[in-house]
Structure 1
Amino acid sequence: MTTNLDHILLVCTSCRGAKSAETLTRLLAQSLPEGFVIRPVQCMAGCDYPTTIGFQAPGKAQYLFGSISTDEDLDAVLEFADQYRCCPDGWTNATDRPRALFTKTLSRMPWIQQEGAA
């Protein structure tokens, strides 16, 4: 399990959802698993689904979730953060993710393949 800050939780600062980016950042920062850093991002093009958040880590699939607005959503994001951190390649199935995120997944993109890697 990784303990350095190599996992990133992106929070859109342009979204105008039920909770501000500052509020989301403050609430999430209190309970994120070890190894995460929060990075504010001006826009992640999820404007129809405020507020959007994303997950990134080296060698792992990347995720974008939208319509994050309730306390239940925040709990699900924190649960997914732990799941994501513990998953070696970050690849999870929709049915394995927290139920509150089931319909909020906007994208899952594969990890970046490094040149010369198999």
Structure 2
Amino acid sequence: MTNHSDHSILICTTCKGAGAARKLRAALAEHVSKRFVLRAVDCMAGCERPITVGLQGPGKTQYLFGEIEAQADIEAIASFAQQFLASDTGWSTASERPKRLYHKTLARLPAYRTEAKT
């Protein structure tokens, strides 16, 4: 199994502030694989539903969740992070994600792919 950080969990610092982001980051650090780097980032445009959290992985679908609460949603984010790591594509339907995240999904973006020019 790979031990390096090749996936990211992004935590927005803008709307609720750096302190709230640090609290969420500390809680997540105890529950997710070391393959995730936990990054505090500026605005991810989820301002109406802070705190926003995104997941990224190489060649995988990307996700953005909103209204993430440090205590209430840690287990759901950690569970989804494990699911995300185990998937080759990162793709999941809403019903496959933890129930706490069902109505908190703000965006699902396809994996970044470079196209060969023709």
Same fold (TM over 0.5): yes
Shift of 1:70: 5.1
CA distance in 1, matches of 2:59, 2:115: 13
In structure 2, the gaps of 5 or more residues are none
User: 1:7-26 residue pairs with structure 2 within 5 A?
Assistant: 7-16=7-16, 20-26=20-26
In 2: Cα distance, 1:55 partner to 1:91 partner = 12
Aligned-pair distance for 1:44?
A: 0.4
How far apart, CA to CA, are the structure 2 residues paired with 1:52 and 1:94? 17
| Matching of residue 31 in structure 1 with residue 31 in structure 2 | yes
Moved over 4 A (4+): none
Aligned pair count? 115
For 1:86 and 1:34, the matched residues in 2 are separated by: 14
| Percentage of matched positions with identical amino acids | 45
Alignment-mate amino acid for residue 77 of structure 1? I
**Structure 1 residue matching 2:40: 3-state secondary structure:** strand
Letter in 2 for 1:13: T
Is contact 1:15–1:52 with CA below 8 Å preserved after alignment?
Answer: no
Q: What letter is aligned with 2:105?
A: T
SS at match of 1:80: helix
Report the CA distance between 1:34 and its aligned residue: 3.1
| TM-score between the two structures when normalised by the length of structure 2 | 0.91
Question: Which residue pairs with 1:49 in the alignment?
Answer: 49
Name whichever of 1-10 and 35-44 sits farther off: 1-10
Per-residue Cα deviation, 1:40-72 (whole angstroms, up to 9, x for no partner): 101101000010000011100000000001523
Q: What root-mean-square deviation, in Å, do the aligned CA atoms of Structure 1 and Structure 2 show?
A: 1.6
**Gap runs ≥5 in structure 1:** none
**Partners of 1:71 and 1:24 in 2: how far apart?**
8
